Structure 1
Amino acid sequence: MQQRLFGSALQLLFLLSLVAVLLTGAPMAGAQEPGAAPTSTEERAGSLDQNRVARAREYLRDNPISPPDTSSPRATLESFVYIMNEVNTLWMSVRDSYDDSNRLFLSDSEEEKLVLVRALLSKAAQTFDLSGIPVTSRENASVEIALQLQEILDRIPAPLFEDIPGSPAGSSRKAGNAADLPDHWTIPGTSINLLRQDEGELRGQYLFSRSSVERIPEDYAVVRVLPITADRGEDLFEYYTYTPGNLIAPLWYDVIEAGPDLLQYHFADQAYWQWLALAGLLVLYAVVFGYYVRWRRWRAVSVNEGTRIVHAILNPVVVILAASLFRYVCEDQINITGMPLVAVGTSTTAIIWSATAWMVYQLLQLFYVWFSSSAGAARDGLDVSLLRTGFRVFSLAIALIVLGYGATQIGIPIYGVIAGLGVGGLAIALAAQPTIENLIGGIILYADRMVRVGEFCQFDDLAGTVESIGIRSTRIRALDRTLITVANADLAKRKIINYSYRDQFHFRHKLKLRYETSPASLKRVLAAIHDYLLAHEKVIEDPLRVRLIGFDDYAVTVDVYAYVQAATVAAFQEIQEELLFGIREIVEANGSEIAYPSSTVYLSQDKGLQDEQTAGDTAPATGEKEIHAA
Structure 2
Amino acid sequence: MIRVGVLCTFILALCSSHLSAQATDGWSGSWDTYWRDGEARMLLEQQGEDVSGSYEPGKGRIEGRIDGQVLRGSWFQDGTSGPILFALSEEGQSFTGRFVDGEYWNGKRVSGTTDSSVDHVTRDTPRSVFRSFVYLQNAAVYEGDIAAGNAAETLLLYVGEPSGERDKRLRRRLLWTMLDLSTFRIYDAPKRVEGETAQFSIGPDARNFEYKIQFSKVGDAWFVVVPTASELRRNLNDMIVALGYDTLSQLREASANSPRAAMRDFIQGMRNWHTGGREQALAALDLSFLPPRLYNFEAPLLAEYLKQVIDRAGYVTWQEISDDPDRAGSYIFYRHPLGLVVIEQVPSSEGEAARWTFSAETLRNAPQLFAEMQDLPVAEGISASEPITRFFQLRERIREVFPVLLTRPGPLELWHWLVIPLSVLFAVVLGRLTGKGTSLLFSRGLRRAERGLRVGAARRLGKPAALLVSTGFVVLAFTWSGLAETVLGGVTVALAATAATALGWLLFTIIELAGGCFQRRAKRTSGLVDEIAVSLVTGVLKIVIVAAGIIAIADITGMPYEGVIAGLGVGGIALAFAARDTVSNLIGGVILMSDRPFHRGDLIETEGQMATVENVGLRSTRMRTFDDSLLVIPNSELTDKAIVNWGQRRKRKIRLEISLHYDTPREHLDVFKTRLRDVYLAQPAADETTGFVGLRSFGDSALNIELWGYFNLADYKDYIAARHQLIGDIVDLARDLAVDFAYPTRSIRLLSPADEKTKNERKTSDPA
Report the TM-score, using the length of structure 1 for normalisation: 0.59
Judge conservation of contact 1:357–1:400 (CA < 8 Å) in 2.
no
Task: Describe how 1:411-422 pairs up with structure 2 within 5 A.
Answer: 419=566, 422=569
- CA, structure 1 residues 250+566, in 2 after alignment: closer, same or farther (shift >3 Å)? farther
Q: Shift of residue 247 of structure 1? A: 2.1
Secondary structure in structure 2 of the residue aligned to 1:266: coil
1:291-310 equivalences under 5 Å are: 302=447, 304=449
- Please state how far the C-alpha of 1:128 moved relative to its aligned partner: 0.9
Q: Judge which range, 585-594 or 75-84, deviates more.
A: 75-84
Please tell me the residue identity of whatever aligns with 1:384: D
Corresponding residue for 1:248?
394
Deviation at 1:165, TM superposition (A): 2.0
Instruction: Indicate the residue corresponding to 1:568 in structure 2.
Output: 714
Show the counterpart of 1:23: 143
Q: Deviations over 1:39-74 (max 9, x none)?
A: x99999xx9xxxxxxxxxxxxxxxxxxxxx964423
1:346-371: CA deviations, max 9, x gaps?
A: 42663476368659957996997899
Alignment of 1:498-509 (within 5 A): 498-500=645-647, 502=649, 505-509=652-656
Tell me which of 288, 293, 316 is aligned to 1:131: 288
Per-residue CA deviations over 1:514-562 (Å, capped at 9, x if unaligned) read: 677556534532343245447875165486544353243xxx3524241
- State the AA in 1 paired with 2:332: T
Q: In the TM superposition, what are the counterparts of 1:408-487 in structure 2 within 5 Å?
A: 410=556, 419=566, 422=569, 425-426=572-573, 429=576, 432-443=579-590, 445=592, 450-459=597-606, 462-479=609-626, 484-487=631-634
Matched pairs, number:
512
Q: Where does the alignment leave 5 or more consecutive residues of structure 1 unmatched?
A: 1-8, 30-39, 48-68, 88-114, 167-177, 614-630
Cα separation, 1, equivalents of 2:660 and 2:334:
121
* Aligned twin of 2:303: 146
- Tell me the residue number matched to 1:187: 333
Letter in 1 for 2:586: L
Query: 2:417 is matched with which residue: 272, 277, 284?
Result: 272
Question: Which has the higher mean CA deviation after the structures are superposed, 302-311 or 459-468?
Answer: 302-311
- 1:538 matches 2:687: yes
2:333 maps to amino acid? I
Q: CA deviation at 1:132?
A: 1.6
SS at match of 1:146: helix
Higher helix share: 1
Rounded Cα–Cα distance in structure 1 between residues aligned with 2:756 and 2:741: 43
The answer to whether the aligner puts 1:350 opposite 2:500 as a matched pair is yes
Counterpart code for 2:723 = Q
- Aligned twin of 2:260: 74
Between 127-136 and 518-527, report the one with greater CA deviation: 518-527
- Structure-to-structure mapping, 1:240-389, within 5 angstroms: 247-248=393-394, 265-267=409-411, 271-281=416-426, 283-284=428-429, 302=447, 304=449, 324-332=472-480, 336-338=484-486, 339-340=489-490, 343=493, 346-347=496-497, 350-351=500-501, 354=504, 358=508, 383-389=529-535
Query: Partner letter of residue 140 of structure 1?
Result: F
The AA in structure 2 aligned to 1:127 is: A
TM-superposed CA distance for 1:405, in Å, is 8.6
Deviations 1:467-519 (A, max 9, x none): 33222222324446676544324545667443235555442223344677556
Distance 1:464 1:214 in 2: 69
Q: Partner of 1:457: helix, strand, or coil? A: strand
Residue 671 of structure 2, aligned match among 508, 511, 524: 524
Correspondence 1:588 to 2:735: yes
Query: Using the alignment, how far apart are the partners of 1:323 and 1:506 within structure 2?
Result: 68
The code of the aligned residue for 2:706 comes to V
Query: Is the Cα contact below 8 Å between 1:513 and 1:594 reproduced in 2?
Result: yes
Question: Is 1:162 equivalent to 2:319 in the alignment?
Answer: yes
Stretches of structure 2 lacking an aligned partner (at least 5 in a row): 1-114, 121-131, 153-184, 190-220, 222-254, 758-768
Q: Deviations over 1:207-241 (max 9, x none)?
A: 213344345456667xx279737469xxx9xx999
Select which of 358, 367, 374 maps to 1:208: 358
Moved more, 391-400 or 203-212: 391-400
3-state secondary structure, aligned to 2:699: strand
| Alpha-carbon contact 1:148-1:217 (below 8 Å) kept | yes
Contact 2:438 2:465 in 1 (8 A): no
Q: Name the structure with the higher strand share.
A: 2
Q: Is the 8 A contact 1:504 1:563 kept in 2?
A: no
Taking a change above 3 Å as real, the CA distance of residues 394 and 305 of structure 1, as seen in their structure-2 partners, is: farther
Deviations, residues 595-628 of structure 1 (Å, cap 9, x unaligned):
57788999xxx99878999xxxxxxxxxxxxxxx
Residue 439 of structure 1: how far off its partner (Å): 1.7
Q: CA offset at residue 457 of structure 1? A: 1.5
Q: What amino acid does structure 1 have at the position aligned with 2:299?
A: S
2:143 maps to a residue whose letter is L
Aligned-residue offset at 1:583: 1.7
Residues 396-419 of structure 1, C-alpha deviations (whole Å, 9 max, x = no match):
687589769957974678955753
- Per-residue CA deviation, residues 229-258 of structure 1 (Å, 9 max, x unaligned), is 7469xxx9xx999xx966225999999989
CA change 1:442–1:563 in 2 (3 A) is: farther
Give, in whole Å, the separation in 1 of the partners of 2:756 and 2:533.
Answer: 90
Contact 2:260 2:318 in 1 (8 A): yes
Which of 209-218 and 244-253 deviates more?
244-253
Letter in structure 1 aligned against 2:359: S
- Offset, 1:590: 0.9
> 1:587, CA displacement in angstroms?
1.0
Q: Any conservation in 2 of the 1:444–1:492 contact (CA below 8 Å)? A: yes
> Alignment partner of 1:458: what SS?
strand
Whole-angstrom CA distance in 1 between matches of 2:695 and 2:437 = 76
Counterpart Cα distance in 1 of 2:688 and 2:268: 97
Change (3 A) 1:267 1:121: farther
Identity of counterpart residues, as a percentage? 19
Closer/same/farther in 2, CA of residues 548 and 374 from structure 1, 3 Å limit = closer
Say whether the 8 Å CA contact 2:606–2:644 is kept in structure 1: yes
Q: Does structure 1 conserve the Cα–Cα contact (< 8 Å) formed by 2:334 and 2:342?
A: no
Which AA in structure 2 matches 1:130?
L
Native 8 Å contact 1:309 1:362 kept in 2: no
Secondary structure of 1:165's partner?
Answer: coil
Distance 1:611 1:453, change over 3 A: closer
Q: For residues 313-357 of structure 1, what are the alpha-carbon distances to aligned partners after superposition, in whole Å with 9 as ceiling and x for unaligned?
A: 976877766665444444346865431575167426634763686
Residues 1:547 and 2:696 are matched in the alignment: yes
Could you tell me whether the CA contact under 8 Å between 2:268 and 2:281 is conserved in 1?
no
- Conserved in 2, the CA contact under 8 Å of 1:22 and 1:78? no
Aligned 8 A contact 1:457 1:498 in 2:
yes
Q: Report the Cα distance in structure 1 between the residues aligned to 2:426 and 2:574, rounded to whole angstroms.
A: 40
Write out per-residue CA displacement over residues 269-318 of structure 1, whole angstroms, 9 at most, x where no aligned residue. Answer: 88433343354356546756886798799989749559969969976877
1:228 corresponds to which residue? 376
1:265 corresponds to which letter in structure 2? P
